[in-house]
Structure 1
Amino acid sequence: MSLQQPLLTTLNIVLTVTEKCLKSPVHYAKQTKLRKTKVHLDDNKRFGGDKTRLAVNQARDEEEEEEEEEGSTEVETVDSLAEEQESEACAGGASGEPGDPERGVEGPAPEQPHQLEHLHQIFVTKNHVLCQEVQRNFIELSKSTKATSHYKPLEPSVHKLQDLRDENFPLFVTSKQLLLLLDASLPKPFFLRNEDGSLKRSIVGWSVQEELTITNWQEDEEEAEADDYGEEEKTVETRPCDSDPRVYVTFEVFANEIWPKMIKGKTSYNPALIWKEIKSFLKGSFEALSCPQGRLTEEAYKQLGRKRCPNFKEDRSEIYGLFCLYQQIRSQKGYFDEEDVLYNLSRRLSKLKVLPWSIHELYGDEIQDFTQAELALLMKCINDPNAMFLTGDTAQSIMKGVAFRFSDLRSLFHYASKNTMDKQYAVRKPKKIYQLYQNYRSHSGTSRPWALPTGEVLGH
């Protein structure tokens, strides 16, 4: 198929890093400290502390040395645990209830060893067909090695990021699927939810079930039955009586229902251009995400540069007036747009001190279809905002209303570096945007793919 060739480079990167991670977890997995533990080494060296970060691109001699140290650590940890268990057994016997750690002699809690966390990667794009094809290709490639044979696609019954298991990574999702996962994973969701995080009501334009199913990835009867069960759940979720009364504003809804009430036949502006101003700048810019109510003020809108926002430079007061009418009509009708969801999620994420999930790397494809607000939100939902690999082609944009420039990405990271109060990682501005001159899909005159690696490892 024609969609199997796009992103082959990105797909190979995901597979290669995942395979290396599983084969050598010492160097690729992140460390999680569950309890305060002291691990004593033969040479009084400490391995894998909270302040230790292992680089993926270390020299082989350093890797071998650290593997030897890790082996020493494991031996010492086992010995220390054995001694602790013996002492706990003695304490339990003295108290008359062996095996009950809560009723033993008072003392410090038993120490637990460091645990390595599986590498969690996410691939995200706008097009659900493209997402399915990339996942399908990864599934086929993963069968060639035991290191990735454990992989299982995301099941329809999983609605929260916290409920994902290691075998679900790398995770392949569309941007809407990721937004819905984020919404269910945070307190006070934007959409009404059941206790398990599933949607109480179906929302036109936000159906996830039909996008999640990857058919024929396994050919056993158990999976077939599971698929049938998923179809039954889908039927239950999409009953007409369970439909959400709110309407999702797409360009079609804007042009056919809202725009005529905004102008009442008194303006000659093109609705597509007005929609772009709203979606890309007034509500979809990274500055708007930080403004009260998630929208630019009129003064801030007027200050946007001509290169970045070339339309309506002399008519921005009138355009802002039309935008205020849009907001008013949308609110009166109970409508919502994607930018309302992004702003809601951004505010809720900002209230978290620590993310309740782990996403170590994010691969974004066709990012010319993402607004700045979407990309800014992605930076907030992963552990390290610098561990992002973004690719796209401005000649292949499919989303109406998105004004994308690769030069704006550097501005986005620069803005984030000054405004993000990060707990662990400082956002770095990418030094260079890489243009991929070699085209493997079509002749040189039809497309020009670009890539922006923002992670330190991916930059090599």
Structure 2
Amino acid sequence: MICLMLTAYFSKMLDGRCFLLSSGWRPKKHNVVTSCSRSSQILKKFKVEGLYIVCTPDIAKDLRYIQILKVWDILPLEDIPKLGHRLETILNRYTDDFINLCVEKYLEGDLEVPQSWPLSMEFSRFKDFSVTETQSDFVGDTSDGRSYVENSQVSESLLLMKFYALSSGVVNHLLSDREGRELDLPFEVTDQERDIILHHRSSFIVGRSGTGKTTVLTMKLFQKERCYHLAMQGCYDTENSKVEQSSATTDGKVLRQLFVTVSPKLCFAIKQHVLHLKSFACGGSDSTERSLIDMVDFDEEESQFKDIQDSFRDIPPSSYPLVITFHKFLMMLDGTLSNSYFARFCDAPLTHGQLRSSRSVAFQAFIRAKEVSYERFSSSYWPHFNTQLTNNLDVSRVFTEIISHIKGGLGSIESCNGKLSREDYVQLCEGRGSNLSKQKRDTIYDIFQAYEKLKKGNGEFDLADFVIDLQRRLKHEKYEGDQMDFIYIDEVQDLTMSQIALFKHMCNNVDEGFVFSGDTAQTIARGIDFRFQDIRHLFYKKFVLESRTNKHDERKEKGKISEIYHLTQNFRTHAGILKLSQSIIDLLYRFFPLSIDVLKPESSLIYGEAPVVLESGENENAIIKIFGNSGNIVGFGAEQVILVRDDAARKGISNVVGKHALVLTIVECKGLEFQDVLLYNFFGSSPLKNQWRVIYDYMKEQDLLDSTLPKKFPSFNEAKHNILCSELKQLYVAVTRTRQRLWICETVEEISKPMFNYWKKKCLVQVRQLDDSLAQAMQVASSAEEWKSRGIKLYRENNYEMATMCFERAGDTYWEQRSKAAGLKAIADRMRVSNPEVANSILREAAEIFDAIGKADSAARCFSDLGEYERADIAHLYGLRIARYGPHSSSFTHISSN
């Protein structure tokens, strides 16, 4: 993000000076920064109206390697030495060859013209620390054979700064915003990211949390939009066209790009980012920017897409690129085909013509009431199954087997009814990565049959039923919706094989039109279980081979599938956290090699201190020590969190800390980031209990045991220790939520010992006694703005309880009431089956709050769920008028006055 904080006059002066520099002009006066030795060769300053542009020559990768000027900051003279000192630590890591290329000059008259070199030329930017003779000069602990380029807070890192190419379009875009709002512009990417973005074949992108997967997908989409726009304007670059030969057409055809992600929150962020980028690429006006900013205010998923019909037929060109959730994708596909899945439900409020238009509020309420999620399966179905079947089985594992394998696997796609037979399912025990015996699979199939019978009796459905019906209809009728040119699927680890296979009908451009991105280390979503290699196999079998069958001899030579791209540079956190998370991945590789994709270890240029294992005094509660011993507690700030295993643990901790800290479960925190994380009692609350001692088995193999560690411990048994896989994945998600500091605190020493000993032997953690001084140092105060920002992030994750607390800390009454009402509605939705009378009472309270604060759309949904359709229609009309005329229009009155 670039925020305009300068006067219009200075901006124009800066604009002019930057263009002079980029065109090759250099002032005659010597302008080298001399505050430090290495930078004297490369760091330069140029004066502009009392301030200085501080920059270095650099090398960028494009169609060739080319010299550029990289601007680090614009500062008063007295602040330059401080920046120079920070840059010195980075510049000292540059190789002599790289420095020589940077400072090489090529003159045309009085102008300095950038040099360029072919991509075949090899050079290293940073020195090879493993062979340097002066390792002591570099940052970091070299005991692991590595060293790091920078030692700083991740949030203050110079290496993680975003840089923007200063073109005339960027400058005009910056100067056009007179209100000083943030402008979302395309930033420069790494060489590896650029290679993936410019790769023109269908591809698979896998990377751990924080490696920039979503950035690559978004920029890949934007690159095609930009090339298409240039082609339409007749100024398409000949060389670029060789790279993007399928990206742009000049025959007036609409470029149809589809971006799908599972999370509504991530979808919202991507949609906003993409529309800003498109506005920039197409020279968007002030009114365009304004309409984009209005997107910030949405409550539920359907609110994002109320202007997009539930069909892929005849989508307006202005709606592309189309950025939607997977749920919206299913609804649109259903509306494109004949005989909607929901027509079978006699109480579904469908009316003529609704299959094409966006469905009504009442219909959306019906879907929410009838869909069986994991939460409903666990609370409303599991207790009704025979306990002889459910004993010794984990409800989450059973749901995963039903959704991912029996009803959602590759085999189920090919079966006549979309579901595996008992025989086929039991035979999966002989396949890769199976840790369920034939007997357990038989039992799970019994539960599946009981579930299907009960679900049918309740008149309910799950997402797998919906997908099976879509697959059946697509076998018997041709898809007649818009054909997409390119499809991008993010968070693909949260989809089943059957769900992914739906996309093959949307795009005939199999060779070049698909990009899948995700991370199987983060598959803690209930009901999902696969690896990227599985997607690749699915893509070859269902996309590539079937497209060859449909095309007699057209472009058969393009059947090769791209290799999987691995993103390994982490932009979120530092090396101390990455080494700890890699140690967890190593355990998954050893014990469950077929449950996770094998990647190179992540790297970071940022050094950071090792995570801290906290030790408390005897009979001393660490939470009380941190939050309960003083009347003037600062508490944790908005960028800090306590992570616990489940709701029961969260409620227990919340009772102690009150409003002094955010407390989230591991499932709730997925997709969120914090500066500091306190992981509390993960091992002590683990269902594995003493079975964590199997870690010693791995330590023995790695020669990490010594005389102080146990000699007797269990050997790994896949059937006995199968739950270890999900435990390690949850642990991985938890430790990767932090950008800077991680503290790990346990109440049951014996259970946590194996992992703590493993980490200590690998020198990955430091042990510190929790005293008053450390407890105080852990706490960081936050401003009202920071609390509100965190509250909105939690609100979008549907974590209304913690969001409400944040808004209360921020002193924002409107958002506090809005979050409270949304939380009440969520409670009512969960209770609708078990206690409908109480649920309606809670829902009515939510509706009245939404009404009182002017949230008409949300009030309408609540009234519709209550069956009060007349009042819902009034609220819906009020919401439409707000959208058209604004909340303060005199053309209508408040809902309640009706």
TM-score, length basis structure 2: 0.34
Rounded to whole Å, the distance in 2 between the matches of 1:413 and 1:190 is 26
Residues 392 and 450, structure 1, Cα contact 8 Å, conserved in 2? no
* One-letter amino acid of the counterpart of residue 172, structure 1: V
Q: CA deviation at 1:24?
A: 1.4
| Structure 1 gap ranges (5+) | 28-54, 71-114, 201-208, 210-233, 453-460
1:280 aligns with 2:487: no
Identify the residue that residue 534 of structure 2 maps to in structure 1: 408
Residues 19 and 147, structure 1, Cα contact 8 Å, conserved in 2? no
SS of aligned partner of 1:172: strand
1:309-324 maps to which residues of 2 (within 5 A)? 309-324=434-449
Identify the residue that residue 399 of structure 1 maps to in structure 2: 525
1:258-407 maps to which residues of 2 (within 5 A)? 258-264=381-387, 267-304=391-428, 305-353=430-478, 355-386=480-511, 387-407=513-533
Rounded to whole Å, the distance in 1 between the matches of 2:233 and 2:221 is 18
1:129 aligns with 2:265: yes
SS of aligned partner of 2:470: helix
Rounded to whole Å, the distance in 2 between the matches of 1:239 and 1:307 is 42
1:197 aligns with 2:354: yes
Q: CA deviation at 1:166?
A: 1.2
SS of aligned partner of 1:58: helix
Identify the residue that residue 438 of structure 1 maps to in structure 2: 569
Rounded to whole Å, the distance in 1 between the matches of 2:546 and 2:332 is 25
Deviation per CA, 1:214-252: give whole Å up to 9, x if none.
Answer: xxxxxxxxxxxxxxxxxxxx9x61489x73696211111
Residues 19 and 148, structure 1, Cα contact 8 Å, conserved in 2? no
Rounded to whole Å, the distance in 1 between the matches of 2:473 and 2:531 is 28
Identify the residue that residue 187 of structure 1 maps to in structure 2: 338
Match 2:312 to one of 151, 161, 167: 161
Higher mean displacement: 439-448 or 127-136? 439-448
Deviation per CA, 1:50-76: give whole Å up to 9, x if none.
Answer: xxxxx996379x99xx99xx8xxxxxx
Match 2:224 to one of 3, 10, 17: 17
Identify the residue that residue 118 of structure 1 maps to in structure 2: 254
Q: Which structure is richer in relative contact order (CA contacts within 8 A, separation 6 or more)?
A: 1
Change (3 A) 1:378 1:346: same
Rounded to whole Å, the distance in 2 between the matches of 1:144 and 1:430 is 33
Q: CA deviation at 1:309?
A: 3.7
Rounded to whole Å, the distance in 2 between the matches of 1:142 and 1:393 is 27
Deviation per CA, 1:303-335: give whole Å up to 9, x if none.
Answer: 324424433455322222222222222122212
Rounded to whole Å, the distance in 2 between the matches of 1:244 and 1:353 is 26
Identify the residue that residue 178 of structure 1 maps to in structure 2: 329
Rounded to whole Å, the distance in 2 between the matches of 1:173 and 1:331 is 30
Q: CA deviation at 1:351?
A: 2.4
Q: CA deviation at 1:139?
A: 2.1
Q: CA deviation at 1:429?
A: 6.1
* One-letter amino acid of the counterpart of residue 432, structure 1: E
Rounded to whole Å, the distance in 1 between the matches of 2:243 and 2:273 is 31
Rounded to whole Å, the distance in 1 between the matches of 2:436 and 2:380 is 24
Q: CA deviation at 1:295?
A: 0.3
Rounded to whole Å, the distance in 1 between the matches of 2:541 and 2:274 is 35
Higher mean displacement: 296-305 or 421-430? 421-430
Identify the residue that residue 274 of structure 2 maps to in structure 1: 138
Q: CA deviation at 1:276?
A: 0.9
Rounded to whole Å, the distance in 1 between the matches of 2:547 and 2:332 is 23
Deviation per CA, 1:68-111: give whole Å up to 9, x if none.
Answer: xx8xxxxxxxxxxxxxxxxxxxxxxxxxxxxxxxxxxxxxxxxx
Residues 160 and 181, structure 1, Cα contact 8 Å, conserved in 2? yes
Change (3 A) 1:274 1:429: farther
Deviation per CA, 1:142-165: give whole Å up to 9, x if none.
Answer: 232326778998652522111311
Identify the residue that residue 850 of structure 2 maps to in structure 1: none
| Structure 2 gap ranges (5+) | 2-154, 156-209, 293-304, 344-349, 586-595, 600-898
Residues 531 and 597, structure 2, Cα contact 8 Å, conserved in 1? no
Deviation per CA, 1:390-436: give whole Å up to 9, x if none.
Answer: 11112333521200211111221233145668534879462421211
Identify the residue that residue 34 of structure 1 maps to in structure 2: none
SS of aligned partner of 1:336: coil
Residues 258 and 323, structure 2, Cα contact 8 Å, conserved in 1? yes
Deviation per CA, 1:242-292: give whole Å up to 9, x if none.
Answer: 736962111111111212222245522111111111011000112212212
Residues 434 and 451, structure 1, Cα contact 8 Å, conserved in 2? no
Change (3 A) 1:429 1:196: farther
Residues 399 and 527, structure 2, Cα contact 8 Å, conserved in 1? yes
Q: CA deviation at 1:167?
A: 1.2
TM-score, length basis structure 1: 0.64
Rounded to whole Å, the distance in 2 between the matches of 1:167 and 1:271 is 45
Change (3 A) 1:286 1:146: same
SS of aligned partner of 1:243: helix
Rounded to whole Å, the distance in 1 between the matches of 2:415 and 2:548 is 16
Q: CA deviation at 1:372?
A: 0.7
Residues 260 and 489, structure 2, Cα contact 8 Å, conserved in 1? yes
Rounded to whole Å, the distance in 2 between the matches of 1:194 and 1:176 is 21
Higher mean displacement: 307-316 or 162-171? 307-316
Q: CA deviation at 1:440?
A: 1.8
Change (3 A) 1:244 1:412: closer
SS of aligned partner of 2:550: coil
How many residues are treated as equivalent by the alignment?
A: 343
Residues 369 and 402, structure 1, Cα contact 8 Å, conserved in 2? yes
Percent identity of the aligned residues? 24
Change (3 A) 1:410 1:327: same
Rounded to whole Å, the distance in 1 between the matches of 2:376 and 2:356 is 23
Q: CA deviation at 1:197?
A: 3.0
Rounded to whole Å, the distance in 2 between the matches of 1:421 and 1:352 is 20
Change (3 A) 1:116 1:144: closer
Rounded to whole Å, the distance in 2 between the matches of 1:334 and 1:347 is 20
Residues 283 and 294, structure 1, Cα contact 8 Å, conserved in 2? yes
Rounded to whole Å, the distance in 2 between the matches of 1:25 and 1:128 is 32
Match 1:257 to one of 368, 380, 396: 380
Residues 257 and 484, structure 2, Cα contact 8 Å, conserved in 1? yes
Residues 392 and 451, structure 1, Cα contact 8 Å, conserved in 2? no
Change (3 A) 1:324 1:357: same
Change (3 A) 1:286 1:125: same
Higher mean displacement: 331-340 or 170-179? 331-340
Rounded to whole Å, the distance in 2 between the matches of 1:251 and 1:375 is 20
SS of aligned partner of 2:242: coil
SS of aligned partner of 2:570: coil
Change (3 A) 1:164 1:245: closer
